[in-house]
Structure 1
Amino acid sequence: MLSVSQLLWLLLSFVVLTRYFKVIWASKSLPPGPVPFPFIGNLWTLGFKLHPQILTKLTESYGNIYTIWLGETPLVVLNGCKAVKDGIVSHSDVLSGRPVASLLKDLHRGRGIVMSNGDTWKQQRRFGMMTLRNLGLGNGALESQIQEEARCMVEQFRAKKGEPFDPSYILNHAVANIISALVYGHRFSIEDVTFQELTNCTHCIVENISSSWARIYDAFPWLMKNVPGPHKAAFGYMNYLEEYTKKEIEIHKENGLPGEPQDVIDHYLAQIKKSQNKEASTFDEDNLIAVVIDLFGAGTETTAIALLWGLLYMVAYPDIQQEVQKELDATSNGPQIYYKDRKNLPYTNAVIHEILRYGNIAAVGMPRTCTKNIKIRNYSLRKDTMVLANLDSVLYDPQYWKTPNQFNPQNFLDSDGNFLMNEAFMPFSAGSRVCLGEQLARSEVFNFFSTLMRSFSFQLPEGVTEVNTKYIYKLTLQPHPFRICAVPR
């Protein structure tokens, strides 16, 4: 007769095998992929991370569309420009959902823009796009703010007097102040403790949601919600951002002028009042808090990292830096640089695009889900299936780039030296979930980078002869910390 412990082991084995065979059966209707292990799926194979190099490596065995398992949840990965466009571009509306169970989803509680679904996402995104336009995106009003921050940034660089320094904090401050003025209605001084805490919380959340703990959370949210671990820290950082935003909302309620909205919070409060009797409205203060945090986080981290990569590449490739400065000097039309000037600066424009391509800040992008049954190429995917467009594989696709694995502005220039856009240029993703702040980010990177190139020559510190252009993998791909010298021109 079996003992109680033996019966329990038999029962446990039966449950594990039953669930495993259920995964194996489900995988038959999905694109091929590595055989999943019981319970953990392919997490071990992935090193518990969605690392771009690992995802690209799997294409050698399984092709450009394959399936990996995060625990018992399948994730269909699209690789290369053609496969990605067949998915998130050709089926833009259908591939517009977000996973309903993940660390990022729980942090946002399904609110705001980035991680919401359905009517909430549609209404919040539409509001975000409309409000950014109302606040000057695409016209001179917002560009003047960018130019002012660029001027302040130049002064902070100049104060270093050509001595070695880490440019990351100054760049982060300049970029954060643009989005801060848009959402909060004011900028921060570089010494402001609150500003330092806001940007630190944003940075720590990015680090947390790219960790191995986050991948385990995504696979087993029902478990990870109730066990301690490093993943819990992200909720503390998010709580700080929420509490600060609540205080800002109260200040806006007290000091705002009716009919004269000045920033995102003012516009949103007006929208809440306008929509309060509409049954289908999703405009409330919880979503307002989430929208503000979405915009502040997305509008700070990635753009500042892009500029960091830009400076690093310029000291790594001084001949390219000199060509940019030569072109800027030859076409200068006064002290200010405008986004429209890019049309007369083909080489500089190409260099900036190559920074965004080669730096690949967004790494592999964020998973989406099918809002209904869909067929991609020869594979039928059911509603709620997770799909990941591997942006890294698009930006490095050898079929579309002259030198995919080298930093080379010629990737964006024709034989006559004219700027040439490439259809595989997708650093901001594509389709209906394309980055909401793409136009703002493009304008900021162009203005800040061009202003810095015209104002300084960037060099390595004395005694330093090598430049580390390898990245640190987080949710974004970031350069290793470095120091440079900004020598006034």
Structure 2
Amino acid sequence: MELLGATSAVLLVCIVCLLSFTAWRKRFGKGKMPPGPIPLPILGNMLQVKPKDLAKTLQKLTEKYGPMFTVYLGSEPVVVLQGHDVVKEALIDHADEFAARGHMPIGERANNGLGIIFSNNEGWLQVRRFALSTLRNFGMGKRSIEDRIQEEAECLLEEITKTKRMPFDPTYMLSCSVSNVICSVIFGNRYDYKDKKFLALMNNMNNTFKLMNSYWGQVCSMYPKIMDHLPGPHNKIFTEIDSLKAFVSEEVKTHQASLDPSSPRDFIDCFLNKMQEEKDRANSHFHLKNLITSTFDLFVAGTETTSTTIRYGLLLLLKHPKIQEKVQEEIDRVVGRSRRPCVADRMQMPYTDAVVHEIQRFISLTPLSLPHAVTKDIHLKEYVIPKGTTVFPILSSVLHDNKEFANPEEFNPGHFLNENGTFRKSEFFMPFSAGKRICVGEGLARMEIFLLITIILQNFTLKPVVDPQELSITPILSGTGNVPPIYQLCAIPR
């Protein structure tokens, strides 16, 4: 009887695998979905796709399946786009069809379909438009926001000066500096670098970014129906997010109590006014839960990615002291020491501009982008992607495309310089993604990265605490995002 039971179980597994294989064969090929490795029932392509280094694993599959292929992350098919040509064709040439947010279980569980980053359809469109308009009114992309960044840079310089040439980890200092800029726009406030509550929030964000890109975070994204019911470190992601949302919620309550509708102070006030305008409109997307979630999205997105980019950038400059030296020479020549660098200086600083672009290209902070989805059945190349399918446009494959960047795995500002030393633009430069889902805060982020790096280097020479050759510049985690190594540096006044 036992032998009969075991034989039946094996037979059942074989039948399930055969049916899965037959269904897989029917869906793929020319005129159908792109080809890809055969998935296992439930597990999908876990044998081929490694959660510890998702982007590189997917890039490896390009060698066999070409620039468009399908993988199963768990039971869900995902179409992967590799290389500039197909990514551009999808996100730019077919921008409307690829405008939906793809399946991202952690974001969906955290935001419940609200906010700006993980929402879809009319709700996303209305709130995104409102956010862009409001942020522009408060100076995004204008001189007023540049003034705020420069003022915050002065506070950052003070904090660096307090280190008195001693080794320090720049993580929280940079997080506070960058976060204060977006905080001034959304909360109408800045916070002291020693404020314990503010530092705790920076820690929450830092932990969230690490956990989402850890092995457990990636497994949670692949198998949400299983992982949502299991204990484990992945659940800490939502504890960290809840702490951040609780802070935002308190800020909203404070704003409600002191609101003057005729004189909005920041993003929250403007959203509260919009809520009042639409209070009698059925199914309005402007309500309290969406205010909290949208503000949370702006707070986190306006802090973590930019501060991590600058932190990773400083590590690269420690690794390459001659490049740091050349940037400082250009700063001294164009700006001098008597005033602070400004965005207008960038046109006269091609080498520094090239270094800033190269930092973003090299680190490829969000190698997979955030997932997209197609809004209808779409023909791309010789294949069909069915409506609702999640799509991963691999940004790292564009930023590291050797057709555009000679030796793409090498950190070299020459990738963005012409032979005569002038700055060279490249349409392969898309660290903020492209198309309808391009990062809302791209203009602010680019301004902050350029200004904060140049202002730091105008005032300090950065020295590693070990030999530069011993510094690792390999991400310690690589999932949806690349997490840089932890390091210390010494800031020597110039």
TM-score by length of 1: 0.94
Which residue of 2 is the match for residue 478 of structure 1?
Answer: 483
Moved more, 160-169 or 16-25: 16-25
Write the distance in 2 (CA, Å) between the matches of 1:101 and 1:458: 38
Which residue of 2 is the match for residue 434 of structure 1?
Answer: 438
Check 1:167–1:215 CA distance in 2 against 1; reply closer, same or farther (3 A cut): closer
Given candidates 37, 41, 44, the residue that maps to 1:38 is 41
Write the distance in 2 (CA, Å) between the matches of 1:127 and 1:185: 18
What is the CA distance between 1:467 and its match in structure 2? 2.1
Question: Is residue 460 of structure 1 aligned with residue 464 of structure 2?
Answer: yes
Check 1:101–1:137 CA distance in 2 against 1; reply closer, same or farther (3 A cut): closer
What is the CA distance between 1:222 and its match in structure 2? 2.9
Question: Is residue 233 of structure 1 aligned with residue 236 of structure 2?
Answer: yes
Which residue of 2 is the match for residue 413 of structure 1?
Answer: 417
What is the CA distance between 1:420 and its match in structure 2? 1.3
Check 1:463–1:78 CA distance in 2 against 1; reply closer, same or farther (3 A cut): closer
Q: Which letter does structure 1 place at the counterpart of 2:232?
A: G
Write the distance in 2 (CA, Å) between the matches of 1:447 and 1:295: 20
Write the distance in 2 (CA, Å) between the matches of 1:328 and 1:161: 23
Which residue of 2 is the match for residue 298 of structure 1?
Answer: 301
The answer (yes or no) to whether the contact 1:101–1:221 under 8 Å persists in 2 is no
Question: Is residue 136 of structure 1 aligned with residue 156 of structure 2?
Answer: no
Ranges in structure 1 where 5+ consecutive residues have no aligned partner: none
Given candidates 387, 401, 420, the residue that maps to 1:383 is 387
Moved more, 343-352 or 9-18: 9-18
The answer (yes or no) to whether the contact 1:95–1:370 under 8 Å persists in 2 is yes
Which residue of 2 is the match for residue 352 of structure 1?
Answer: 356
Check 1:419–1:460 CA distance in 2 against 1; reply closer, same or farther (3 A cut): same
Map of 1:120-135 to 2, 5 A cutoff? 120-135=123-138
What is the CA distance between 1:430 and its match in structure 2? 0.4
- Superposed CA deviations along residues 400-458 of structure 1, whole A, max 9, x for unmatched, are 11331211111111111111110100100001000111000001011100101110111
Check 1:6–1:313 CA distance in 2 against 1; reply closer, same or farther (3 A cut): closer
Map of 1:53-202 to 2, 5 A cutoff? 53-100=56-103, 102-202=105-205
Moved more, 384-393 or 311-320: 311-320
- Superposed CA deviations along residues 326-362 of structure 1, whole A, max 9, x for unmatched, are 1111111641221121011111111111111112111
What is the CA distance between 1:215 and its match in structure 2? 3.6
Write the distance in 1 (CA, Å) between the matches of 2:412 and 2:138: 36
Moved more, 145-154 or 23-32: 23-32
Query: SS of the counterpart of 2:470?
Result: coil
Write the distance in 2 (CA, Å) between the matches of 1:294 and 1:349: 28
What is the CA distance between 1:197 and its match in structure 2? 2.1
- Superposed CA deviations along residues 143-200 of structure 1, whole A, max 9, x for unmatched, are 1110011111111111112122111221111011111111111111112221122122
Write the distance in 1 (CA, Å) between the matches of 2:369 and 2:182: 21
Question: Is residue 369 of structure 1 aligned with residue 369 of structure 2?
Answer: no
Write the distance in 2 (CA, Å) between the matches of 1:7 and 1:199: 56
Query: SS of the counterpart of 2:285?
Result: coil
Write the distance in 1 (CA, Å) between the matches of 2:208 and 2:131: 22
Q: Which letter does structure 2 place at the counterpart of 1:395?
A: L
Q: Which letter does structure 2 place at the counterpart of 1:451?
A: I
Given candidates 245, 256, 259, the residue that maps to 1:256 is 259
Write the distance in 1 (CA, Å) between the matches of 2:117 and 2:384: 26
Q: Which letter does structure 1 place at the counterpart of 2:353?
A: N
Write the distance in 2 (CA, Å) between the matches of 1:25 and 1:92: 28
Moved more, 397-406 or 246-255: 397-406
The answer (yes or no) to whether the contact 2:53–2:477 under 8 Å persists in 1 is no
Query: SS of the counterpart of 1:162?
Result: coil
Q: Which letter does structure 2 place at the counterpart of 1:268?
A: F
Write the distance in 2 (CA, Å) between the matches of 1:306 and 1:104: 21
The answer (yes or no) to whether the contact 1:359–1:477 under 8 Å persists in 2 is yes
Question: Is residue 307 of structure 1 aligned with residue 325 of structure 2?
Answer: no
Write the distance in 2 (CA, Å) between the matches of 1:222 and 1:253: 38
Check 1:235–1:399 CA distance in 2 against 1; reply closer, same or farther (3 A cut): same
The answer (yes or no) to whether the contact 1:175–1:299 under 8 Å persists in 2 is yes
Check 1:142–1:358 CA distance in 2 against 1; reply closer, same or farther (3 A cut): same
Write the distance in 2 (CA, Å) between the matches of 1:19 and 1:103: 27
Q: Which letter does structure 2 place at the counterpart of 1:345?
A: M
Write the distance in 2 (CA, Å) between the matches of 1:175 and 1:408: 26
Which residue of 2 is the match for residue 26 of structure 1?
Answer: 27
Map of 1:1-20 to 2, 5 A cutoff? 9=9, 18-19=19-20
Moved more, 236-245 or 298-307: 236-245
The sequence identity of aligned pairs, in percent, is 35
Write the distance in 2 (CA, Å) between the matches of 1:4 and 1:113: 56
What is the CA distance between 1:21 and its match in structure 2? 3.9
Query: SS of the counterpart of 2:79?
Result: strand
Given candidates 268, 273, 293, the residue that maps to 1:270 is 273
Write the distance in 2 (CA, Å) between the matches of 1:365 and 1:488: 38
Check 1:415–1:12 CA distance in 2 against 1; reply closer, same or farther (3 A cut): closer
Moved more, 134-143 or 457-466: 457-466
Write the distance in 2 (CA, Å) between the matches of 1:348 and 1:329: 12
Root-mean-square deviation (CA), in Å?
Answer: 2.2
Write the distance in 1 (CA, Å) between the matches of 2:173 and 2:264: 29
What is the CA distance between 1:472 and its match in structure 2? 1.9
Check 1:62–1:250 CA distance in 2 against 1; reply closer, same or farther (3 A cut): same
What is the count of residue pairs matched by the alignment?
Answer: 489
Q: Which letter does structure 1 place at the counterpart of 2:87?
A: V
Write the distance in 2 (CA, Å) between the matches of 1:220 and 1:161: 48
The answer (yes or no) to whether the contact 1:99–1:105 under 8 Å persists in 2 is no
Query: SS of the counterpart of 1:471?
Result: coil
Write the distance in 2 (CA, Å) between the matches of 1:2 and 1:480: 53
Ranges in structure 2 where 5+ consecutive residues have no aligned partner: none
Query: SS of the counterpart of 2:473?
Result: coil
The answer (yes or no) to whether the contact 1:43–1:49 under 8 Å persists in 2 is no
Moved more, 156-165 or 460-469: 460-469
What is the CA distance between 1:294 and its match in structure 2? 0.7
Given candidates 396, 402, 425, the residue that maps to 2:400 is 396
